[in-house]
Amino acid sequence: MQFQLSEEQLMIQKAARDFAQNECLPGVIERDEKQQFPKEQILKLAELGFMGMMTAPEYGGAGMDTISYVLAMEEISKVDASVSVCMSVNNSLVCWGLEKYGNEEQKQQYLVPLAQGCKNGELYIGAFLLSEPEAGSDATSQHTMAEDKGDHYIINGTKNWITNGGTASVYLVMAQTDPSKGSKGIDTFIIEKNTNGVTVGPKENKLGIRGSDTHSIMFQDVKVPKENRIGNDGFGFSFAMKTLAGGRIGIAAQALGIASGAYERSVEYAFGKEIAQHQAIQFKLADMATRIEAARLLCLRAAWEKDNGDDYTLSSSMAKVFASETAMWVTTEAVQIHGGYGYVKEYHVERLMRDAKITQIYEGTSEVQRIVIGRGILK
Ligand code: CAA
């Protein structure tokens, strides 16, 4: 066992840190306030190869490992979690799912531009459409229907809380094809946003990650050719679960970044001040640093398992539940250390505290992660 990062991983970490400081930090408070999607930042991330970091170069990606992805997610999330969630969904849920389970035509047509994050000079990203008004944690209860019409399907239904919902060009949509088969009667379809019958609802007005682009998406008699189904008939739920296992590593790394961003700001704030001499503050900083390090090790462990071809279902859920609870705790303590300054926008920690909350909710709540871990232990 060795705990050193490779030269290449350190370079990627530095590139992500520089990007966060130079491109994300300017204007981050205003983007949060105005709920402004960070389009410029995402286009620059695409130039760096970070929108398809783990995708093979022959499909437009940068061919990096999952450890590098965790390092980059942490650095960017320290500064702007609205940027990193967009990056995470495109990388883990969209590009990875297409690369692993899509066929060659689907990869050429969709994965290549998605991994590049750009097509004909324009932003080109994806979204993952699983959640519904009545199917959040209970993801098998899909109400969106896909009716088999021979050479095509007709899709009807509504998806909720979709990250990248308004800006994505391509949606991966889970829908029920045969309700009698439960989770085995679900398929995943590639649907272009500009298809007839697709409607994007208004942008959600959120507590945190306010720059990110979250919408409901409605499907009314949307015609989707059969060749846009991913995998065999009935593979859709399994596709969602396998893809989410990797997604949870990305969100764990996001939570880790939010926590370490708040911690670094707290150290900087306390340093040289009278309050830093008090044991009460030193103990807080010590606990913050310890929990963050534990979260980091869980994230890297899950990433390492994924890179080694091991089963990472359990480790990704462990990383996500621990890192997200750490993020919520650390950011709350960071606000406390800053006192009144922590409660106003200029010091960033109140935003990090608001951003931390979503990491306990999306890509499976903390309760869902505990179900996954518990079942894994008893299996
Ligand atoms: N891989 C493959 N198959 C899996 C699987 C996995 N990891 N997990 C479950 N399955 C299979 C099971 O084996 C089972 O098949 P059988 O019927 O043959 O046994 C089937 O799927 C149903 O599984 P369960 O009985 O375990 O299903 P369940 O209803 O009890 O719940 C759950 C499972 C873990 C709670 C699941 O519903 C879940 O993960 N829910 C959370 C959904 C989620 O994370 N949503 C996030 C939305 S995306 C998002 O947030 C993106 C964003 O915007 C940032």
Nearest residue by C-alpha to atom 47 in ligand 1: 363
pLDDT at 216: 98
- Cα-Cα-Cα-Cα torsion 72, 78, 79, 82, nearest 10 degrees, comes to 70
More confident residue, 139 or 219: 219
Does residue 225 register a pLDDT over 80? Answer: yes
Ligand 1, closest atom to CA 214? 53
Q: Is the CB of 372 under 6 A from ligand 1?
A: yes
Q: How far is CA 351 from the centre of its chain?
A: 18
pLDDT at 258: 98
pLDDT, one tens digit per residue, over 1-23 is 889 999 999 999 999 999 999 99
Ligand 1, closest atom to CA 361? 50
Q: Is the CB of 128 under 6 A from ligand 1?
A: yes
Lowest mean pLDDT among 76-90, 235-249, 271-285: 271-285
Both structure tokens of 358: 């979503």
pLDDT at 290: 98
Does residue 293 register a pLDDT over 80? Answer: yes
Mean pLDDT, residues 326-346: 96
pTM value > 0.95: yes
Q: Is the CB of 276 under 6 A from ligand 1?
A: no
**Confidence class for position 246, pLDDT limits 50, 70, 90:** very high
**Confidence class for position 291, pLDDT limits 50, 70, 90:** very high
Hunting for tokens 């929990």 — which residue is that?
Answer: 291
Q: Is the CB of 364 under 6 A from ligand 1?
A: yes
Angle (deg, nearest 10), helices 236-270 and 349-358: 160
> Do residues 91 and 69 touch, judged by C-beta distance below 8 A?
yes
**Confidence class for position 333, pLDDT limits 50, 70, 90:** very high
What is the distance in A from the centroid of ligand 1 to the CA of 359? 18
Q: Which residues are catalytic?
A: 363
Q: Is the CB of 89 under 6 A from ligand 1?
A: yes
Both structure tokens of 271: 């340093």
Q: Ligand 1, residues 82, 173, 206, 241: which to mutate, most atoms within 8 A of Cβ?
A: 241
pLDDT, one tens digit per residue, over 133-172 is 988 898 899 999 999 999 999 999 999 999 999 999 999 9
How long is the chain?
379
Q: What H or E segment, with its residue span, contains residue 221?
A: strand 214-225
